[in-house]
Structure 1
Amino acid sequence: MRILAAGGSAADAAVAATLACCVTESVVTGLGGGGFATYYDATTRSVHCLDFFCSVPGLDGDLPAGPMCPIEIDLGGLPMSYSIGGASVAVPGVPAGTAAVHTRWGRLPWDRVVEPAINLARCGVVLPAAQALTLMSVFPALVPGAGAEIYRPGGRLLAGGDLLYHPGLDRALAILAERGPDAFYTGTVAELTVDVVRAAGGCLGPEDLAGYRVLDLDVFRAPLSGYHVFARQDLNELISTIAALPHGLAALPRPDRARELAGALCEYGRPKIGDTTNVSAVDADGNACVITLSLGIGSGVWLPGLGLHLNSMLGEGELLAGPLVPGQRMSSMMCPLVVLDEDGDLVLAAGSAGASRIRTALVHTLINVLAEGASTGEAISRPRFHVIDDVAHVEAGYPEDEIDALAGAGYKINQFDDLDHFFGAVSAVGRAGAAGDPRRGGVGLLL
């Protein structure tokens, strides 16, 4: 909000908040991960997507020196298997990606945009109760190595209200502010990253980092209730899912709509749990920037003296859509989006955390806003259902007649006792207001 008040663009604000998230939401993301950005230019009424997700290492010809370490986490009562360790670390993209967004669409000086994150890292932040709940699920990936003293100091896992502090992370961010992203790909941080990953059994090398580039992506469109949703084509095929919904969706009785939505969700998608965060920003000129980024589950490999946790993307089996080719960009379910009206004006900018539930959370939110006219806050807070194979996982408070319709369509019902962080975390801003997801302590603010 201070960045916007100082005259910053939506891109400045989104990048500043994204880097702040690398400090305050390290349970789910960090500088050592990767992500995507979607930008709406109000002057040209054009939409752009940037890919700064992680790439497969190995351009130096090295092979992993050691095996990955298998772990299991539980989220929403569903046990999920992962692999961590040095061999799970892919080439990170967040430093390059945030800088690219700022270079393309920012207004304020780069160091001014990074400054809020540096200040937060120097002091530490209070861990929200919602993130403490997530920490309880994913801590097996966070407490190996340096993470033990950060997330489980004195042998006790951090709880809501405790101080989350990463010694050295302010130095990493200061390097980013002063030297730009090059230090992370060809400079001192790059050299340290290679040494640490290889010592942990990984194969990431100097050529992998030096060859990393942010990519421009094709933008796809799908109609929904008289509006147009724009985004990249993600691994979970959000745009295809929306396109598969009936054109008269808003006119259908809600139980029928639930069956149609469940069918579209079943047709596409992959069941996976991961750590993600999202920032959506709109400036006074109507420009919008949505950034979604992820650390995977976290590798347990940290850069000493810099408080920086590296990603575990190579250990996330559902992201490995084919052979691992060194230098190739990995797949992801992240899908920051914008919604435009028939005149090309912005209606909504939104994104979500939650791996395979990103698509579910966003589609529910879009239907609530576009088809039902709900405010952004109400749309995000309403109970959702998520389909995996023949099981519909349903949050507490979801309408009984719609649950009956799902059961009548052959889905087994797994009823949750409350709104749950399993169901993703949408943040959005648009004509209907600004809101973050209460499931993970999200907020929405208007200036």
Structure 2
Amino acid sequence: MFCNGVVTMQSMGLGGGFLMTVYKRDEKKAYFLNAREKAPLNVKSEMYKGDPKTSQHGPLAVAVPGELRGYWTAYKRFGRLPWKELIEPTITLCENGFNMTNHQHMSLFKNKLYDDPNFQNGSRDADGKFKTRGSIIRPTRLCETLKVIAENGGDELYNDTLSKMLLEDIKAMGGIITQEDLDEYQTRTTCFQPRLQALGLLLAFILKILDGYDFTRESIDDLNSTITTYHRMIEAFKYAYAKRTELGDVNFVNISELLANLSSTEYADSIRMKIEDGFTSEDPKHYGAVFYSKEDHGTAHFSILDQAGDAVSVTSSVNIYFGAGFTSKQTGVILNSVMDDFSFPYFKNYFGLPGSPNNELKPGKRPLSSMSPTILTDRNGDVKLVVGASGGTKITTSVAQVIMRTLWFGQNIKEAVDAPRLHHQLYPMEVEYEYGNLKQVVEGLKALGHKLIRNSGSVVCALLKMADKIIGNADYRKGGEVFGI
């Protein structure tokens, strides 16, 4: 993760946060680490009322980073190698330089990086223009920061020299994060038996709804069956995303009844009974939505499985590409834009619905996230699938489709990840479909009343355990890699 925080700094890094699921085979237990960013204690919702873009770009967009504190928490609980050894390869990479990827190059033009005079991470030429793809990148300031962290440990960015430098830069640019924010930040760690909680409740809810259809390979064998299967899947997405608008930080809102419903097979059965094979609605209220939820953005994901049967699924993010487009001058850390993940009561969506009150901005609160770092085990407690995705709100539906294709449709992991996907998040009221979906299927869904647009945006990383083999697939959509040791 240190390495990818450098090579894919457009998507993740020390200025962001992550969600991690760790499965210990000998214990038959899973641990969930929440190192997502938190709203600063001095924040006020009114700060963003005049210009909503301030929650996306610049110093007010930055939430308290959790990435390094999360690494340190995970290391103290599960680590075996010396801390310094974990970071040294990344330092070497930083010093020697690496080639700018195609994805990183394209991402440079999707954020207001030209507005930040401190964005000198090696991505610019002497004339100030961005380098071209394939150019050598050497983020020297970030490299020096990593050297300090390697020597002094994972608290360095929170209560030592680096934290002082970070806070000075944030304050100089007009940010509001203070030492108190860094002092109070803690990673949330939860231990649970590896059942549906490990999937993420919204993802589990989608699969519970669809499980009652008893899908098989034949469910997508012919045109009519495929259209019906996809229609049912889309409707399940819409019902699930309606419930998403009610989710929020459990330390701030009481959603125990909602969580119980999302975990209930009986409740999922009742939702499935509402799905009609020949009907879809364009009214969000038909699916139970009375609010809308904010769309979150780009991320990076890792799926790991070792010879002992232990597994890690972790998704990390700075939100929008290159976060807030704001870099700490002294540390080289690119800071997140996670404040944009909160809902604001004074903004309404196209349908006139207000933002979800359960996800409203509050000091010290964590915003809603679509991250779904997932580990599936069989009845014996052996890992079968490690999967997750990047792509903001498309993460949940993407992971659901890979699971469906692997477990229900009988596809191998290559077929399941590479297959063209569909997505519906209720807002906007349209199905996004990828290139590769048959035209006849698209027309069939339109005939049922769905509005479809062609789009892309999700990237899945998955490992499938079959007997004594581990088969992996890193999504071709972003150019990821699979490695075995």
Output the TM-score relative to the length of structure 1.
Answer: 0.83
Higher strand share: 1
Contact 2:304 2:463 in 1 (8 A): yes
Contact 1:392 1:406 in 2 (8 A): no
Q: Which residue of 2 aligns with 1:246?
A: 211
Contact 1:126 1:163 in 2 (8 A): yes
Task: State the alpha-carbon separation in 2 of the partners of residues 147 and 229 from structure 1.
Answer: 40
In the TM superposition, 1:228-267 aligns within 5 A as 230-233=198-201, 237-247=202-212, 248-250=214-216, 252=219, 253-267=225-239
Instruction: Tell me the secondary structure at the aligned position of residue 410 of structure 1.
Output: coil
Task: State the alpha-carbon separation in 1 of the partners of residues 22 and 301 from structure 2.
Answer: 14
Q: Structure 1, residues 236-271: CA drift from partner, whole Å, max 9, x if none?
A: x22222222133122633322211111111123356
Task: State the alpha-carbon separation in 1 of the partners of residues 359 and 203 from structure 2.
Answer: 20
CA separation of 1:339 and 1:232: change in aligned 2, threshold 3 A: same
Instruction: Tell me the secondary structure at the aligned position of residue 299 of structure 1.
Output: coil
Instruction: Tell me the secondary structure at the aligned position of residue 147 of structure 1.
Output: coil
How many percent identity over aligned positions? Answer: 24
Q: Structure 1, residues 316-352: CA drift from partner, whole Å, max 9, x if none?
A: 3459853433223332111101011122210011111
Instruction: Tell me the secondary structure at the aligned position of residue 210 of structure 2.
Output: coil
CA separation of 1:376 and 1:277: change in aligned 2, threshold 3 A: same
CA separation of 1:238 and 1:134: change in aligned 2, threshold 3 A: farther
CA separation of 1:256 and 1:373: change in aligned 2, threshold 3 A: same
Which residue of 316, 320, 323 maps to 1:293? 316
Structure 1 residue ranges without an equivalent (≥5): 1-17, 73-80, 223-227
Instruction: Tell me the secondary structure at the aligned position of residue 257 of structure 1.
Output: helix
| Structure 1 stretch displaced more, 390-399 or 276-285 | 390-399
Give the letter aligned to residue 304 of structure 2: A
Q: Which residue of 2 aligns with 1:99?
A: 72
Task: State the alpha-carbon separation in 1 of the partners of residues 430 and 43 from structure 2.
Answer: 42
Determine if the alignment matches structure 1 residue 442 to structure 2 residue 480: yes
Determine if the alignment matches structure 1 residue 322 to structure 2 residue 343: no
Instruction: Tell me the secondary structure at the aligned position of residue 359 of structure 2.
Output: coil
CA separation of 1:254 and 1:63: change in aligned 2, threshold 3 A: closer
Give the letter aligned to residue 8 of structure 2: E
Give the letter aligned to residue 314 of structure 1: M
Which residue of 260, 268, 272 maps to 2:295? 272
Task: State the alpha-carbon separation in 1 of the partners of residues 131 and 404 from structure 2.
Answer: 37
Q: CA deviation at 1:131?
A: 3.4
Task: State the alpha-carbon separation in 2 of the partners of residues 384 and 123 from structure 1.
Answer: 38
Task: State the alpha-carbon separation in 2 of the partners of residues 63 and 71 from structure 1.
Answer: 13
Which residue of 13, 30, 44 maps to 2:13? 30
Which residue of 415, 423, 430 maps to 1:378? 415
Q: Which residue of 2 aligns with 1:399?
A: 438
Which residue of 303, 320, 332 maps to 1:307? 332
In the TM superposition, 1:40-59 aligns within 5 A as 40-58=23-41
Give the letter aligned to residue 245 of structure 1: L
Contact 2:342 2:360 in 1 (8 A): no
Contact 2:97 2:138 in 1 (8 A): yes
Which residue of 62, 84, 96 maps to 1:111? 84
Task: State the alpha-carbon separation in 2 of the partners of residues 131 and 185 from structure 1.
Answer: 28
Which residue of 93, 112, 116 maps to 1:140? 112
What's the Cα RMSD here?
2.7
Task: State the alpha-carbon separation in 1 of the partners of residues 5 and 91 from structure 2.
Answer: 10
Q: CA deviation at 1:65?
A: 12
CA separation of 1:99 and 1:68: change in aligned 2, threshold 3 A: farther
CA separation of 1:325 and 1:316: change in aligned 2, threshold 3 A: closer
Determine if the alignment matches structure 1 residue 358 to structure 2 residue 395: yes
Task: State the alpha-carbon separation in 2 of the partners of residues 392 and 353 from structure 1.
Answer: 19
Instruction: Tell me the secondary structure at the aligned position of residue 173 of structure 1.
Output: helix
Instruction: Tell me the secondary structure at the aligned position of residue 56 of structure 2.
Output: strand
CA separation of 1:33 and 1:131: change in aligned 2, threshold 3 A: same
Q: CA deviation at 1:230?
A: 2.2
In the TM superposition, 1:56-71 aligns within 5 A as 56-58=39-41, 61=42
Task: State the alpha-carbon separation in 1 of the partners of residues 114 and 472 from structure 2.
Answer: 31
Task: State the alpha-carbon separation in 1 of the partners of residues 318 and 145 from structure 2.
Answer: 16
Q: Structure 1, residues 85-114: CA drift from partner, whole Å, max 9, x if none?
A: 111111101101112122212221111112
Q: Which residue of 2 aligns with 1:197?
A: 170
Give the letter aligned to residue 349 of structure 1: V
Task: State the alpha-carbon separation in 2 of the partners of residues 193 and 277 from structure 1.
Answer: 23
| Structure 1 stretch displaced more, 266-275 or 170-179 | 266-275
Task: State the alpha-carbon separation in 2 of the partners of residues 220 and 41 from structure 1.
Answer: 10
Q: CA deviation at 1:156?
A: 3.7
Output the TM-score relative to the length of structure 2.
Answer: 0.77
Task: State the alpha-carbon separation in 2 of the partners of residues 142 and 350 from structure 1.
Answer: 35
CA separation of 1:62 and 1:273: change in aligned 2, threshold 3 A: closer
Task: State the alpha-carbon separation in 1 of the partners of residues 25 and 362 from structure 2.
Answer: 38
Determine if the alignment matches structure 1 residue 84 to structure 2 residue 57: yes
Task: State the alpha-carbon separation in 2 of the partners of residues 388 and 289 from structure 1.
Answer: 27
Contact 1:428 1:435 in 2 (8 A): yes
Q: CA deviation at 1:443?
A: 1.3
Q: CA deviation at 1:146?
A: 2.2
CA separation of 1:158 and 1:265: change in aligned 2, threshold 3 A: farther
Which residue of 448, 451, 464 maps to 1:430? 464
Paired residues, number: 406
Task: State the alpha-carbon separation in 1 of the partners of residues 51 and 383 from structure 2.
Answer: 44
Contact 2:294 2:342 in 1 (8 A): no
Q: Which residue of 2 aligns with 1:5?
A: none
Task: State the alpha-carbon separation in 1 of the partners of residues 414 and 59 from structure 2.
Answer: 40
Give the letter aligned to residue 125 of structure 1: F
Structure 2 residue ranges without an equivalent (≥5): 220-224, 242-292, 345-355
Q: Which residue of 2 aligns with 1:415?
A: 454
Q: Which residue of 2 aligns with 1:172?
A: 145
Q: CA deviation at 1:273?
A: 4.8
